[in-house]
């Protein structure tokens, strides 16, 4: 058995690899690794500079044999200390024979992203960087790794065999440094408003790459494209990223980044991403696309449409080319992170862009600043440009994506008001917000160490560790009474179409903002929530002013998260429940349930259920239970007091009549109100009212008609609209 010494000479920026015999071998048998200065690695792509000090781990795989079937007999973490001058000893005992020595260096992301760890056991042919389970495109963008291998035959008579391995970068990089980003572009027969910018590839990104090449010297490309087929390398939501129009409304503006770690010129955009090498396809290799919205002549609005595509060609005028390992593809010029000297962002006021292809080994800039490739971000499952939440309290998850490298972040809410107005430039705010701005209506649910909710809420969170996490956002109920006009009959209606249009835009607006340490501007998520619709249903002792608040959607309906349009599902029409039950076994009333206040009926039924009263068990799965929802008003300090008597509920007869009467086509605004209320003439709506001691029937209202006092079997499938009272008014 012989000891083997491996000398790893890592590829320099300017110098040739150095090979020699180490003189300070520890006693025993093993492998001694050393590194030459100039390793060009970094896990942050914001310029063409490089720095070996961002290497976080190095491991060595030793295979017995030199072909694809060679088995890995040793995989070892070399305990990298971040010092290029150190040598690393790995104790092992190798018998005579042929071996392949494969070394891998990773940044602080690549090890977990691609499964490049020191516990590999497999063959040389199957030794690959593979996208790990749970990792995705965003993780690949911040991960790079290096690899190199050499084969050696260990002879019986040799005591020590010098093995020289050169590490080379296995990923490629795409860097975009841009200026004059247009706020609008000519599109079809008009103009389109630009909202997003993205860089796309000719084919979907690869998710794995061989670390050993049977044909040495040939280009190695990745394989196994993303299952989603996603070709987008990265996308920037300009509003969320704090870009605002200039004074003329022509180009987007934003102050340049001016930190110790990164400097950019004003009104520019800088993004970069690593990716696995990509063979050329039949489509243009790189595309820069502007996305936005436009309105046709008939008033139809289209969202998230590609409104302009820039031609990107290389220095040879070709649009189709491969993306090779160890090369940087630059759109615009950015030499150094910490300086704007020599900066030349690509100009988007034209139509053609050139990509400059640079071998990383040829880059002569020497700069050691670490860089934030991207600040912490907030990811949601809805299209913030068009989606608006309904009035009842709601909870939804957001994913807080850690910055790269990971840094402390702070999460807070910025509400629209006179002070913050500038932050909402380019955002259409609610029609009533200028006169009655809303604040303290967004909170974050607190969880314990196991991720379980504690019942507490916060309006601001700081994480010194900068970890990514899933967070639950809670929106309070939005039910503020609006002024309606009387018609002399003691009732109040929406009497003009201008008022209908104003009520369609009655929502409140805020940003959830996340600030990354070292950056000035936050990443933002736009949140908007509709106010409930004010309706008049008659004054009673329980509701002296006669007004109620109606949700904008029926039970079982929702706004589409991509388009914002109302969606009526197959489960929207439901039975009433309480089959073969008389009022006394539902609400405790002798012959009839309440005609005026639905909350009375629901509260009585709920209390009978809690007490275990006769028939109370039928409350479960009834329409009364399905629509009952406590009014949520979390205070500014995060406290919340439950009140079982303040609820959303199924309307009583006169309340549902009050809602449905607004869309009556005989009224001046009846037709316009159908869109406002998301309701059609003739649709049947359950009431919580039962008359004449009925056993199997309950009252319903046919919307927009005068034929109101109707009964239906409780197993019929009808619609239901939640309402509540203006408890705070």
DSSP 624: H
- Lowest mean pLDDT, pick from 45-49, 345-349, 701-705: 45-49
Which CATH code for domain 377-532?
2.60.40
HEC sequence for 142-170:
CCCEEEEEEEEEECCCCCCCEEEECCEEC
- Lowest mean pLDDT, pick from 52-61, 340-349, 717-726: 52-61
**Is the pLDDT reported for residue 41 higher than 60?**
no
**Is the pLDDT reported for residue 20 higher than 50?**
no
Cβ pair 391, 500 in contact under 8 A: no
Which distant-in-sequence residues (6+ apart) come within 8 Å of 475 by Cβ? 389, 393, 394, 395, 396, 441, 442, 527, 529
Same fold, 172-362 and 377-532: yes
- CATH ID of 172-362, from 1.10.3470, 2.60.40, 3.30.1120, 3.40.50: 2.60.40
Cβ pair 444, 400 in contact under 8 A: no
- Angle value at C-alpha 143, between 361 and 257, nearest 5 degrees: 80
- Band (pLDDT 50/70/90 cuts) for residue 157 is low
- Lowest mean pLDDT, pick from 63-67, 141-145, 586-590: 141-145
- Burial of 542 (C-beta count, 10 Å sphere; 0-12/13-18/19+): exposed
- Band (pLDDT 50/70/90 cuts) for residue 293 is very high
**Is the pLDDT reported for residue 162 higher than 80?**
no
The CA R_g of the chain, rounded to the nearest whole Å, is 33
HEC sequence for 625-689:
HHHCEECCCCCCCCCCCCCCCCEEECCCHHHHHHHHHHHCCCCCCHHHHHHHHCCCCCCEEECCC
Q: Give residue limits of the domains in the chain.
A: 5-169, 172-362, 377-532, 583-725
Cβ pair 29, 123 in contact under 8 A: no
Residue carrying the six token digits 């070399």: 78
Bridge partners (DSSP) listed for residue 165: 8
**Is the pLDDT reported for residue 74 higher than 70?**
yes
- Band (pLDDT 50/70/90 cuts) for residue 727 is confident
Mean pLDDT for 698-713 is 91
Q: Which tops the pLDDT comparison, 707 or 288?
A: 288
> What digits encode the pLDDT tens for the residues 625-672?
999 999 989 999 999 888 999 999 999 999 999 999 999 999 999 999
- Band (pLDDT 50/70/90 cuts) for residue 70 is very high
pLDDT of residue 36: 44
- Band (pLDDT 50/70/90 cuts) for residue 435 is confident
pLDDT of residue 287: 93
Q: How far apart are CA 278 and CA 284, in angstroms?
A: 12
The answer as to CATH 1.10.3470 being correct for domain 5-169 is no
Query: What is the residue-averaged pLDDT of the chain?
Result: 85
**Is the pLDDT reported for residue 689 higher than 90?**
yes
The dihedral through the CA atoms of 530, 536, 542, 545 has a sign that is: positive
SS3 category, 599:
helix
Q: How far apart are CA 209 and CA 345, in angstroms?
A: 32
> What digits encode the pLDDT tens for the residues 486-538?
655 556 889 899 999 999 999 999 999 999 987 778 999 999 999 999 999 99
**Is the pLDDT reported for residue 46 higher than 60?**
no
pLDDT of residue 364: 42
Distances in Å between the Cα of 102 and the Cα atoms of 58, 65, 84, 87, 360 are 11, 12, 19, 17, 21
**Is the pLDDT reported for residue 384 higher than 70?**
yes
**Is the pLDDT reported for residue 371 higher than 80?**
no
- Band (pLDDT 50/70/90 cuts) for residue 457 is very high
H helix or E strand, kind and range, residue 485: strand 485-486
Q: How far apart are CA 162 and CA 8, in angstroms?
A: 10
């Amino acid at each position: 058995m012989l000891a083997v010494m491996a000398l790893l000479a890592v590829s320099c920026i300017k110098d040739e690899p150095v090979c020699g015999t180490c003189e300070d071998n520890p006693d025993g048998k093993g492998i001694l690794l050393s590194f030459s200065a100039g390793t060009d690695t970094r896990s942050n792509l914001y310029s063409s500079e490089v720095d070996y000090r961002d290497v976080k781990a190095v491991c060595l795989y030793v295979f017995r044999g030199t072909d694809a079937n060679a088995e890995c007999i040793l995989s070892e973490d070399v305990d990298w200390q971040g010092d290029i001058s150190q040598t690393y000893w790995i104790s092992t005992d190798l018998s005579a024979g042929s071996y392949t020595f494969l070394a891998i260096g990773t940044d602080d992301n690549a090890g977990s992203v691609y499964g490049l760890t020191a516990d590999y056991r497999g063959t040389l042919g199957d030794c690959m960087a593979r996208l790990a389970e749970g990792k995705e495109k965003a993780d690949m963008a911040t991960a790079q790794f290096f690899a190199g291998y050499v084969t050696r035959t260990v002879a019986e008579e040799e005591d020590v065999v010098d093995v020289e391995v050169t590490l080379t970068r296995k990923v490629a990089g795409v860097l975009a440094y841009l200026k004059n980003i247009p706020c609008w572009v000519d599109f079809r027969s008009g103009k389109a408003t630009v909202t997003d910018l993205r860089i796309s590839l000719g084919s979907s990104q690869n998710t794995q790459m061989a670390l050993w090449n049977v044909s040495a010297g040939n280009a190695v490309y990745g394989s196994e494209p993303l299952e989603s087929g996603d070709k987008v390398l990265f996308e920037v939501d300009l509003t969320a990223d704090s870009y605002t129009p200039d004074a003329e409304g022509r180009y987007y503006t934003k102050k340049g980044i001016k930190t110790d770690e990164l400097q950019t010129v004003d009104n520019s955009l800088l993004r970069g991403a690593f990716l696995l090498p990509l063979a050329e396809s039949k489509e243009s290799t790189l595309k820069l696309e502007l996305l936005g919205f436009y309105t046709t002549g008939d008033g139809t609005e289209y969202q998230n449409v590609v409104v302009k595509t820039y031609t990107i060609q290389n220095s040879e005028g070709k649009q189709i080319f491969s993306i090779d390992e160890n090369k940087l593809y630059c759109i615009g010029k950015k030499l150094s992170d910490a300086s704007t000297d020599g900066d030349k962002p690509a100009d988007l006021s034209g139509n053609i862009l050139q990509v400059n292809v640079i071998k990383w080994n040829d880059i002569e800039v020497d700069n050691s600043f670490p860089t934030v490739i991207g600040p912490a971000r907030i990811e949601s499952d809805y299209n913030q440009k068009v989606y608006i939440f309904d009035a009842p309290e709601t909870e939804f998850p957001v994913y807080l994506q850690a910055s790269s490298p990971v840094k402390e972040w702070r999460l807070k809410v910025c509400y629209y008001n006179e002070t913050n107005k500038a932050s909402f430039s380019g955002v259409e705010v609610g029609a009533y917000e200028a006169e009655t701005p809303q604040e303290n209506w967004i909170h974050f649910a607190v969880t314990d160490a196991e991720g379980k909710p504690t019942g507490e809420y916060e309006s601001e969170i700081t994480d010194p560790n900068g970890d990514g996490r899933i967070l639950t956002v809670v929106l309070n109920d939005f039910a503020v009474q609006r002024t309606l006009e009387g018609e002399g009959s003691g009732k109040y209606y929406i009497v003009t179409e201008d008022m209908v249009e104003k009520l369609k835009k009655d929502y409140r607006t805020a940003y959830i903002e996340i600030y990354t340490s070292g950056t000035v501007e936050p990443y933002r998520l736009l949140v908007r929530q509709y106010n409930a619709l004010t309706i008049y249903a008659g004054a009673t002792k329980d509701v002296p002013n006669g007004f109620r608040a109606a949700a904008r959607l029926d039970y079982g309906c929702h706004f589409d998260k991509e388009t914002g349009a109302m969606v009526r599902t197959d489960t929207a029409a439901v039975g009433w429940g309480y089959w073969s039950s008389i009022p006394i076994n539902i609400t405790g009333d002798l012959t009839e349930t309440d005609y005026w206040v639905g909350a009375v009926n629901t509260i009585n039924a709920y209390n009978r259920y809690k007490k275990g009263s006769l028939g109370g068990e039928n409350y479960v799965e009834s329409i009364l239970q399905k629509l009952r929802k406590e009014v949520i008003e979390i205070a500014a300090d995060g406290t919340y007091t439950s009140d079982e008597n303040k609820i959303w509920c199924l309307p009583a007869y006169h309340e549902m009549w009050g809602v449905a009467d607004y869309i009556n086509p005989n009224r001046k605004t009846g037709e316009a109100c159908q869109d406002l209320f998301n309701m059609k003439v003739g649709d049947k709506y359950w009431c919580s009212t039962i008359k004449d001691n009925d056993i199997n029937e309950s009252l319903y209202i046919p919307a927009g008609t005068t034929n109101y006092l109707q009964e239906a079997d409780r197993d019929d499938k009808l619609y239901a609209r939640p309402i509540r009272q203006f408890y705070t008014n």
